[in-house]
Chain A
Amino acid sequence: MRKYVPKDNVQAKSYYTDRFWVAPRVPRSTVEDTHFLAVVEAVGTQANETYVELGQLVIHINPKNNFEVMKTLKEKCGYTQCSEQSAVDYLAQDNEFELFWQLLNINEAKRIRVICRLANGLAIESIEPLYKSANFAEREMFDMFGIKVNNHPFLKRILMPDDWEGNPLLKTYPLQGDEFASWYEVDKIFGKEYRDIIGPENRDPAKIDTEDTKRFSRVGYEVPFGADISEGETKTAIEYSETFLVDYNKNSSKQLDERR
C-alpha cells in the first residue's frame, strides 16, 4: 500500500510516535512581579494574552492594531530595536499564519515577543516607519510566505529571483522544490528545449553512473573515455599509489620541532 502523505504539510515527519506520547510544554509564568509589568500596562487592552516564556515577555495581539502596539512599545516603553520578525505557517491546522516580532529594549536589556495570528490571504500593516529593519525583514516574509504587507516602500522578492514561483517556507512547498524549481537554471540559461539534453537533476549524492567513464570510473578499472564497458572492464594497475610515495625516506626529511 502506498504511504499516506498529507498534502497540506509535506515536511519530514517522525516515522514513529508513541500512541500515549503527550508533548510537555515549556513552562509559562504570569507577568505579575516581573519587570515586564509596566509594558503590559502600557499596552493595556490591546493585548489578548500575556505571559513570560523562558525569560521573555510574549504579547498576543490582534493583527489589525499591530502598528499601534508597536508604536506604544517604541515610544512609551523604549523598545527601540526590532531585532527579528517573521512568520510561522499554521495553514494546515487553522488556515492562519503566526507572525512574530522580536523587540529589544537596549537600556534595560529586556526582550519581548509580539505575536499575532493572521488569516490566510489578509495583509498586515508595515512597521517600516517605526523600525527600518522591517524593510528587509518584511520583504523576506513576503518572499518566503507570500504574506502581503501594506504600505511597505518596496515589497518585492528578496532572496528568491523575481521570476520565482511559489513561497519556499510554506509547509506545502517540498524541501527539494517543485518542478519549476528543478528546471529553473536550465530554463533560464539554455531554454526549455534543453531540458531533454541536460536531463533531470540527480538528487542522490551517492549515485554513480557506471556508464559515465569520464567522470566516475571505478578505481583500478579505468577505461578510455567513451569506451564500451557493457562487457565489463579489464583491471588495470593502479599507477599513482606506487609512484606517489616512491621517494619517501624518513631519514632524508627533517621534521620541524615547532611550527614556524
Chain B
Amino acid sequence: MQVANKLSPFFENLNFERDDNTMVINFGPQHPSAHGQLRLVLELDGEQVVKAYPDIGYLHRGIEKMAENMTYNEFLPTTDRLDYIASTSNNYAYALAVEKLIGVEAPRRAQVIRTMLLELNRIISHLFFVATHALDVGAMSVFLYAFREREFAMDLMEDYCGARLTHSAVRIGGVPLDIPKGWLENAAAFCDKVDYEVEHTYEALLTENRIWKMRLEDVGVISAEDALSWGCSGVMLRGSGVKWDIRKEEPYELYPELDFDIPISDRCDSYGRYKLYIEEMRQSTRIIRQLIPMYKDTKPQLMAHSPQYISAPKEEIMTQNYALMQHFVLVTQGMRPPKGEVYIPTESPKGELGFYIKSEGEPYAYRLKCRAPSFFHTGLLQKLLVGTYIADVVTIIGTTNIVFGEVDR
C-alpha cells in the first residue's frame, strides 16, 4: 500500500482504469448525508450500484475498552456518547443491565421518570430522523420545522437534567433528581404540540407529497427473512412486517402497565419506515400522557435502597456515620457486582440496544459489549444498496437511521 503523507497524497476517490467497465466511487467518510462518518466504497455500473462496501470505524473511540478501566458508576456518562441523539436510552440500557446484575430494582417514582425520559428521547430521536431524512432527500423546510419542535423537547430535557445533548439523566438504581416544578405541565403541552405538528406539518408536508413518495416508495426494500438474518431490530424489523418490539415482548420498566400500540408495516420499503417513525411519535406522546397522572401517586424515593451497591441519599450521608462510610467506599473503590454475566436488551429509538456485561466480582467490568442496533444496520447496507441507483443511496442510508457513535463505539 502506498504510504501517503503530505508530499505524496493518496487519491483513492476515483478509479477509472478497470477492465470490467465499472467505476469505483468513494463516498465519505466526511459527507453531509453520511450521518456521521460512514465511508462507502461503491462499485457502479452506469448509475447502478453493483457492489457496496461500508467502511466504518472512523469514530471508533474505544468505549468498550474504557468500560474495562472504569468503575460501573464512572462509565455511565460515557454511554451518553454512544447514541448521542437519544442519550438517555443508552444510560438506561446500561443502568438496567447493571441493575439486573446486582439485583436491585428502581423505586416507582424513578421508574415513572425514566419511562417519561425514554419516550421523550424517542420523540427527539424520531424528530431528528424526520429532519435529516427529509434534508437528505431534498426537503429542506421539514428540517427547519422538525428542529423547531426538537428544541422544545431539548428544553424539557434541559429543565430536568441541565444538559441538552449528553444527559446522564439515569443512575444505576434510580434517577438522580426529582422532576422540577411545572415540568409535567410543560411536558403535557409539549405532547399536544408534537401531536399537532406531526399531523399538520410533517404529515401534511410529506406523507402525500408526490416527490417524497417517488423518492421513498420501493426504495430500500428488505424482506423479513433478510431483516432477521442481518440482525435488524426496531423500525427496520417492524418495517418489514415482523411484529417485534422489546417494550411489548420482553417488557421492562413500566411498559407492561401502559397502553400503547406497536405500529408495523409490511411495505418493506423506506416509505413504510417513515410512516412508522411518524406513528411511533404519536404513541410516545400517548405514553407520556399516561405517565403524568401516574407520577402523582408515587412516593418520593428516587434511588433504590441497596447499601452494598448504591449510595444512600444525601441527607443520610450527611447525618449517619455508616452511610457516609459506605458512600466513601462506593466512590473511591466502586461497587462490586457478583460474578456472572448478563445481557439485557432494550428498545432504543434505533432498535435493540443491549449491554452484555461480564463481571468477575471486581469494581471494573471484565468485559462490556454494547450491542448497538446501528452497527448491524450498517452491515445491512452491503446488501441493501446492491442493485439500486446512485440517487437512492442517500435515501437508503437515511432510512436505516444509523448514528455513528453507536456503530463504531
Contact = CB atoms under 8 A, between A and B. Distances in A.
Between A12, A14, A113, A132, the greatest number of chain B beta carbons within 10 A of the residue's beta carbon is seen for: A132
SS class, residues of chain A in contact with chain B: loop
A89 B363 CA distance: 17
B231 interface: yes
B370 to A, nearest CB: 9
A84 B338 contact: no
Contacts of A201: none
Nearest to A191: B5
A54 B229 contact: no
Nearest to B57: A159
Contact of A14 (B5, B60, B354, B362): B362
Interface in A61-86: 80-84, 86
B1 to A, nearest CB: 7
A182 interface: no
Interface string B256-272: 00000000000000000
A111 interface: yes
Contact of A163 (B1, B366, B375): B1
A208 interface: no
B383 A132 contact: yes
A83 B369 contact: no
B231 A160 contact: no
A221 B230 CA distance: 60
A158 B1 CA distance: 17
SS class, residues of chain B in contact with chain A: mixed
Between A11, A21, A171, the greatest number of chain B beta carbons within 10 A of the residue's beta carbon is seen for: A11
B226 to A, nearest CB: 7
A126 interface: no
B249 A109 contact: yes
A26 B338 contact: yes
**In the A-B complex, the 7 residue pairs with the closest CB atoms:** A23-B361, A26-B340, A133-B231, A136-B379, A159-B57, A12-B69, A24-B338
Given A14-B334, A80-B225, A188-B4, 6 more contacts: A11-B69, A86-B356, A89-B367, A111-B343, A135-B379, A175-B69
29 contacts: A11-B364, A12-B69, A14-B334, A14-B336, A14-B362, A14-B363, A23-B338, A23-B339, A23-B360, A24-B339, A26-B101, A53-B340, A54-B340, A82-B231, A83-B345, A83-B354, A84-B369, A100-B356, A102-B371, A106-B242, A111-B345, A133-B376, A135-B382, A136-B376, A160-B57, A160-B60, A175-B62, A188-B4, A189-B6
